[in-house]
């Protein structure tokens, strides 16, 4: 049995000392999934049971089984990253959790309440930030609060607090077009946090950013996770990003989309203890994991 994250990361000599401990759990034999099936529906966290999503083909096109028999329990406070080749159903899974896409079969619940539509208890950050260019940065962050009827004073107080959390406290009254791509993505994160959701859902939020900006927002996300203890579900194509951020990594495979690996990882906790992303990403255990996960994501092009 693998040691817990905490045990791994309390060792003083990061990164070398964890090298011998960071082994994958047995593939596919995910005890959390089988235990989850025995739990009552009112249990806390996000529960996905026997989820399938089929898109109906238009005209001559046949149906696509985008997700098949997904079983997943995400406990409160986990940072779960889903990685997988294009078309394996990552966005579909996130959209079903968000309530944007309906399940064809199976059930989803958050803290015991069925998920069947979008709700403020699930905040979404998209790859394209979807900010309103005619609103100031502050009003973009507070937009959801306005739609929920909060007064200006209260929503601006929350907006300022969230902008400070993402490192943009001096940009509250700027226009969106005055911000770089990375800053706009920070606004998107602040906006999602403003509604104080139980779960943050992030759909390739850093995909369009340069490497330096990308890494700085990865670090920001981990600090926000540490401060807020929010449950996070994050999808990416990028294996290094997945390894760095995830407290738990799920690897998906296409045709039909399904979960083929479910692994607990130590690197996010190690970053929060060491504050040294470069040392972690260049460490031997990280590189071993990168090669292992690349082999799972693209076995035909990446020999073990």
Smallest distance from ligand ATP to CB 91, Å: 3
Phi, psi for 179 (deg, rounded to 5): -100, 150
Of 89, 144, 159, 197, the one binding ligand ATP (CB under 6 A) is 89
Greatest pairwise CA separation for the chain in angstroms: 61
Query: What contacts 16, CB < 8 A, 6 or more positions away?
Result: 283, 284
Of 55, 75, 119, 288, the one binding ligand ATP (CB under 6 A) is 55
Q: Where are the alpha helices (DSSP H) in 166-283?
A: 181-194, 211-228, 239-245, 267-274, 277-281
Q: Is the dihedral of CA 46, 51, 56, 61 positive or negative?
A: positive
Of 8, 66, 108, 190, the one binding ligand ATP (CB under 6 A) is 66
Cα torsion for 240, 242, 246, 252, to the nearest 10°?
-140
Based on the shown chain and the rule CB under 6 A, indicate whether residue 162 belongs to the binding site for ligand ATP: no
Smallest distance from ligand ATP to CB 158, Å: 31
Token representation of residue 66? 């985008």
Based on the shown chain and the rule CB under 6 A, indicate whether residue 257 belongs to the binding site for ligand ATP: yes
Of 8, 14, 45, 84, the one binding ligand ATP (CB under 6 A) is 84
Of 47, 49, 73, 90, the one binding ligand ATP (CB under 6 A) is 90
Q: Whose Cβ is closer to ligand ATP: residue 90's or residue 129's?
A: 90
Based on the shown chain and the rule CB under 6 A, indicate whether residue 87 belongs to the binding site for ligand ATP: yes
Angle, CA of 155, 157 and 161, to the nearest 5°: 115
Which stretch, 86-94, 188-196, 263-271, 289-297, contacts ligand ATP (CB under 6 A)?
A: 86-94
Based on the shown chain and the rule CB under 6 A, indicate whether residue 127 belongs to the binding site for ligand ATP: no
The gap between the terminal CA atoms of the chain, to the nearest Å, is 23
Phi, psi for 147 (deg, rounded to 5): -65, -25
Of 46, 51, 88, 206, the one binding ligand ATP (CB under 6 A) is 88
Neighbours of 217 (CB within 10 A): 19
Based on the shown chain and the rule CB under 6 A, indicate whether residue 205 belongs to the binding site for ligand ATP: no
Phi, psi for 136 (deg, rounded to 5): -65, 170
Smallest distance from ligand ATP to CB 235, Å: 7
Based on the shown chain and the rule CB under 6 A, indicate whether residue 60 belongs to the binding site for ligand ATP: no
Beta bridge pairs of residue 7: none
Beta bridge pairs of residue 214: none
Which stretch, 83-91, 137-145, 217-225, 262-270, contacts ligand ATP (CB under 6 A)?
A: 83-91
Based on the shown chain and the rule CB under 6 A, indicate whether residue 64 belongs to the binding site for ligand ATP: yes
Which stretch, 85-93, 221-229, 265-273, 282-290, contacts ligand ATP (CB under 6 A)?
A: 85-93
Of 52, 68, 71, 92, the one binding ligand ATP (CB under 6 A) is 92
- Could you tell me if 179 and 201 are in contact, meaning their C-beta atoms sit under 8 angstroms apart? no
Helix (H) or strand (E) holding 263: strand 258-264
Smallest distance from ligand ATP to CB 262, Å: 17
- # chain residues binding ligand ATP, by CB under 6 A: 13
Based on the shown chain and the rule CB under 6 A, indicate whether residue 86 belongs to the binding site for ligand ATP: yes
Beta bridge pairs of residue 65: 54
Residues in touch with ligand ATP (CB under 6 A): 55, 64, 66, 84, 86-92, 237, 257
């Amino acid at each position: 049995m693998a040691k817990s994250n905490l045990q791994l990361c309390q060792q003083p000599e990061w990164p070398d000392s964890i090298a011998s401990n960071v082994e994958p759990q047995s593939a596919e034999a995910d005890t959390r999934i089988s235990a989850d099936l025995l739990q009552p529906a009112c249990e806390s966290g996000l529960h996905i049971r026997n989820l399938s999503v089929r898109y109906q083909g238009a005209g001559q096109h046949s149906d696509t089984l985008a997700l098949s028999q997904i079983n997943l329990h995400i406990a409160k406070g986990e940072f779960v990253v889903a990685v997988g080749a294009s078309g394996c159903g990552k966005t579909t899974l996130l959209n079903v959790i968000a309530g944007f896409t309906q399940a064809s079969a199976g059930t989803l619940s958050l803290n015991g309440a069925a998920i069947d539509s979008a709700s403020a208890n699930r905040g979404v950050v998209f790859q394209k930030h979807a900010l309103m260019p005619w609103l100031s940065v502050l009003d973009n962050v507070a937009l959801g609060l306005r739609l929920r009827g909060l007064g200006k004073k209260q929503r601006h107080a929350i907006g300022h607090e969230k902008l400070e959390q993402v490192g943009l406290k001096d940009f509250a009254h700027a226009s969106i077009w005055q911000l770089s791509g990375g800053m706009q993505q920070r606004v998107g994160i602040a906006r999602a946090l403003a509604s104080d959701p139980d779960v943050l859902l992030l759909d390739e939020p850093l995909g369009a950013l340069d490497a330096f900006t990308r890494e700085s927002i990865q670090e920001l996300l981990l600090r926000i996770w540490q401060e807020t203890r929010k449950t996070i579900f994050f999808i990416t194509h990028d294996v290094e990003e997945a390894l760095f951020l995830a407290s738990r990594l799920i690897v998906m495979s296409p045709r039909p989309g399904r979960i083929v690996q479910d692994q607990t990882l130590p690197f996010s906790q190690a970053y929060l203890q060491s504050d040294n992303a470069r040392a972690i990403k260049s460490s031997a255990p990280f590189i071993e994991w990168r090669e292992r996960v690349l082999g799972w994501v693209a076995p035909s092009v990446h020999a073990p």
